[in-house]
Structure 1
Amino acid sequence: MISREFLLDVSRLVWRNWSHRLATGIDRVCYAYLRNFGPRSQAVVQYRGVARILTERHSDELFETLLEPDEVFRRRLSLLAPRALAASARAVDGRGTFYINVGHTDIDLSRLLGWTRRSRVNPIYLIHDLIPLTHSEFCRSEAIERHRGRVVNALFSAAGVIANSRATAAELELYGRSHGIPLPPITSAWLAGARLAQDDVVPLKSGRHFVCVGTIEGRKNHFMLLQVWQRLVERLGPAAPKLVLIGQKGAEAAHVESMLERGRGMSDHVVILSHCPDEELGRWIRTARALLLPSFAEGFGLPVIEAMELGTPVIASDLPCFREIGVGIPTLLDPLDAVAWERTILSFLDLCPERARQLRMLKEYSAPTWGGHFAQVESWLEELRTVRRPFMFHPGPDRRSTPVVVRRDGAERHAPDRLQTSRPER
């Protein structure tokens, strides 16, 4: 049944296209992996850990359909799904085929891990961040438990784990060591941003506006930005710059809307764009005085890459991932220091020395590419073909599973009870 080099899990993209949700950063990564690995892969689709492998022909049809506009996708999927599922397989002998899952899809479920073990496939997972574990105050309890399951299961069961940055890789390694989990091979490979710099796109007229890109939720620290803008409006009146918030509203967006309603004059200076196509996004970023990212935690930060590629200065939180991918260009500030943010934003309205420094450095900036990412990942995968981990994950009855280390001699031992610890020791 498995006749191609890879198995590619596209369950997340099927859900995204069907639900008409705007693509998130993780979705963009899934699309990039689809374009790179699709021609050499068979599709895996799953629901709650029950996985099916599509035939070559049906895989190609699904991959092509996933790249269609959403309205076309629904129609084509409705015609494809009955045929594809009827001809699909559950039980296979993968004989070491790489199973690639870069969307975090159901890695926390023991049922999926049991399938990878029985099917003798080598799972490759991409972990985008550990935010629900390192900054649980910004996440719902269910999200924390699910992500703990993803991280623990991935570390125990994967033939290899891809991290989007050295910062994420370091957090993964720390978590594994502090919980007594034998670490799989881990590689860090930078992601590439969306193609926003299109020659045929006429930019907006450069003005006095700043842009903040990302889901509107507590972790992104929009509330602090709005406090800064309230003071700027009170201080400058009609001359205050415009703040453009680009992103879908998350579970904690109510406080942003409430502040906009209460703040005097705020509605004239703050705009929320919940639906912003890439062409329009590129225009807003390219003509902004700076991109603002005051997040409390990030795993990578695609908007930083995208803004710098467009030649736009960046003011961001002083986080390990921003220090890494920013390569010394962005102005980094404490996300709690609202005074420093206000002072810096005011200075960027003019050609201050710090903004001039960024503009000079941006002329020589070379953004990461998907070509570079996949060259690194595929070279690493070739190395992994000769490496066999001496343990696997034995699925248990619950979501967290029952970790069991399987030695080369076939004997089993249960993993340490410390796996139930809620947070890694810092």
Structure 2
Amino acid sequence: MRSLLHWLGRFSGLAVGGHAGRLAELLVDVSVLYQQDAGTGIQRVVRSLLLALGENAPPGFRVRPVYATKTRSYRYADPDFLWRKPGQRLDPGEPLRPRSGDIFFGLDLCAHILPRHRRRLRAWRRRGVTMQLVVYDLLPVLRPDWFSERMTRNFRQWLHFLAWEADSALCISADVEHRLRGWLAQHHPNASAHMSIGRLPMGTDIPVPVSGHGIEALPEDSIAKPYILMVGTIEPRKAYDRALDAFERVWSVYEKDAPNLVIVGRSGWKTEELQSRLHRHPEAGRRLFWLADADDAVLARCYGRCEGLLITSLGEGYGLPVVEALRIGRPVLARDLPVFREIGGSRVTYFTNDSPAALAKTIMDWIEVPGACTVGVGEGWDQAARRLANALSATSSPATGRRNEAIPLHGISNAA
């Protein structure tokens, strides 16, 4: 309770307009999360880092969550929005009036919103507001077949907006940074003249619910152990179909020794056939469990009880579930992707062959000898927020008015 009151206190009684001695404002864009918390990996990062920044504001700054819609320009968000109850109406907030020295921090991925307000954001930059945007991945433009046409179109417009307007792009991994530099070199070779590219410090903590929803009756209590956990939205790149093919092989060949499969993830796009297969599967409710509406309390319990985490994804910008599982000492079996090597190092077991027979054998071998895991891998969100806050303050200081400086940020070191 003290932490919650302390966080809310940072937003109480703050003047929207400027005044003598006014602290600069870190304007944290939470537009998508503000309208709906879909429980995606990005939204979990947004929520966690916003809460941590509330406790670790940059020196000389107030942290102010802000939001916009497609038709309404940016406003201050109701500070109570993370704890709203179903149906609760929020204060629409006052319009933003940023001043020189403020930072617009695009923490949420608002590809369908941000470019619509380009003129206003450009006017803010002329006043001396620095724009820092987070880049989670480039998959919609690199693999458009994994996304809807609208998602790809919106994301492409957002990337062009970033290249034209951002002072800094903060990438969540070295892999994303490499891909962003390559895309910019091809499409916006002059962007480096005004934009720096750095790394966003990423953290992890055991997921903690902010709403309390779902604590009274956790559906995974009925799931028999042992089970393997998969976490993520049901979408094409996650390759749940290949995991299910492998587990069907596991259940038919290994029978009594075979683990169950638990999937925690919301319904996504372009996977209607797979979702129907999950619902109607002969092992659904016996060996196969899909928790489509699990909150953070359920997810935390699933992490705590699983035998290990399986990641079959074909593409990621980071891989938050990998770090979350390692954080509490759970074994991880993941596809051999560069970003997983970056964040997991030698602590993760990797596979390349995802044919049903090969992956089934890999899963069973991994269960027998999962490898040693160290509890507490990586840093928490508070530590990540402190490093981010110090860097943001240094790159746009109200006292010096410095802008366009490189942000010397790095993620978790995973050399092992």
Task: Measure how far apart 1:89 and its partner are.
Answer: 3.4
Query: In structure 2, what residue type is equivalent to 1:26?
Result: I
2:165 aligns with one of 147, 157, 181 = 157
1:370 aligns with 2:381: yes
Task: Measure how far apart 1:264 and its partner are.
Answer: 5.0
Task: Measure how far apart 1:194 and its partner are.
Answer: 4.1
1:214 aligns with one of 200, 211, 232 = 232
Residue in 2 that maps onto 1:308? 326
Where do 1:252-267 residues align within 5 Å?
A: 252-260=270-278, 265=283
Task: Measure how far apart 1:48 and its partner are.
Answer: 1.5
Residue in 2 that maps onto 1:145? 153
Residue in 1 that maps onto 2:28? 8
Ranked by relative contact order (alpha carbons within 8 Å, sequence separation 6 or more), the top structure is: 2
Query: In structure 1, what residue type is equivalent to 2:29?
Result: D
Where do 1:39-50 residues align within 5 Å?
A: 40-48=62-70, 50=72
Residue in 2 that maps onto 1:100? 105
What TM-score do you get using the length of structure 1 for normalisation? 0.76
Query: In structure 2, what residue type is equivalent to 1:379?
Result: N
Q: Which runs of 5+ in 2 are unaligned?
A: 1-16, 210-215, 406-416
1:23 aligns with 2:35: no
Residue in 2 that maps onto 1:224? 242
1:187 aligns with 2:198: yes
Q: CA 1:302 to 1:162, structure 2 compared with 1: closer, same or farther past 3 Å?
A: same
Comparing 225-234 and 367-376, the one that deviates more: 367-376
Residue in 2 that maps onto 1:417? none
Task: Measure how far apart 1:34 and its partner are.
Answer: 2.7
Q: CA 1:325 to 1:190, structure 2 compared with 1: closer, same or farther past 3 Å?
A: farther
Where do 1:67-216 residues align within 5 Å?
A: 67-71=82-86, 74-77=87-90, 80-81=91-92, 84=93, 88-89=94-95, 92=97, 94-106=99-111, 109-119=114-124, 120=127, 121-179=129-187, 180-183=189-192, 184-196=195-207, 207-216=225-234
1:162 partner SS? strand
2:345 partner SS? coil
- CA offsets, 1:25-83, max 9 Å, x none? 221222234324457134433122642344xxxx5xx11x1131433xx4351xx23xx
Task: Measure how far apart 1:129 and its partner are.
Answer: 0.9
Task: Measure how far apart 1:368 and its partner are.
Answer: 2.2
1:51 partner SS? coil
1:381 aligns with 2:392: yes
Asked if the contact 1:296–1:335 (Cα under 8 Å) also holds between the matched residues in 2, the reply is no
CA distance in 1, matches of 2:88, 2:284: 43
CA distance in 2, matches of 1:256, 1:115: 42
Q: CA 1:239 to 1:261, structure 2 compared with 1: closer, same or farther past 3 Å?
A: farther
Task: Measure how far apart 1:283 and its partner are.
Answer: 2.4
Structure with larger Rg = 1
CA distance in 2, matches of 1:206, 1:258: 23
- CA offsets, 1:69-106, max 9 Å, x none? 433xx4351xx23xx3xxx336x462241111211224
Q: CA 1:196 to 1:335, structure 2 compared with 1: closer, same or farther past 3 Å?
A: farther
CA distance in 1, matches of 2:294, 2:64: 32
Q: CA 1:107 to 1:249, structure 2 compared with 1: closer, same or farther past 3 Å?
A: closer
CA distance in 1, matches of 2:207, 2:64: 30
CA distance in 2, matches of 1:364, 1:52: 41
1:288 aligns with 2:286: no
Task: Measure how far apart 1:227 and its partner are.
Answer: 0.6
CA distance in 2, matches of 1:96, 1:210: 49
1:66 aligns with 2:74: no
Q: Which runs of 5+ in 1 are unaligned?
A: 391-426
1:32 aligns with one of 43, 48, 54 = 48
What TM-score do you get using the length of structure 2 for normalisation? 0.78
Asked if the contact 1:44–1:51 (Cα under 8 Å) also holds between the matched residues in 2, the reply is no
Asked if the contact 1:10–1:30 (Cα under 8 Å) also holds between the matched residues in 2, the reply is yes
Asked if the contact 1:101–1:126 (Cα under 8 Å) also holds between the matched residues in 2, the reply is yes
CA distance in 1, matches of 2:235, 2:320: 17
Aligned residues, how many? 361
Task: Measure how far apart 1:343 and its partner are.
Answer: 1.2
CA distance in 2, matches of 1:107, 1:188: 23
Task: Measure how far apart 1:241 and its partner are.
Answer: 1.8
Residue in 2 that maps onto 1:322? 340
RMSD of aligned C-alpha atoms? Answer: 3.0
Asked if the contact 1:9–1:45 (Cα under 8 Å) also holds between the matched residues in 2, the reply is yes
Asked if the contact 1:138–1:218 (Cα under 8 Å) also holds between the matched residues in 2, the reply is yes
CA distance in 1, matches of 2:299, 2:317: 21
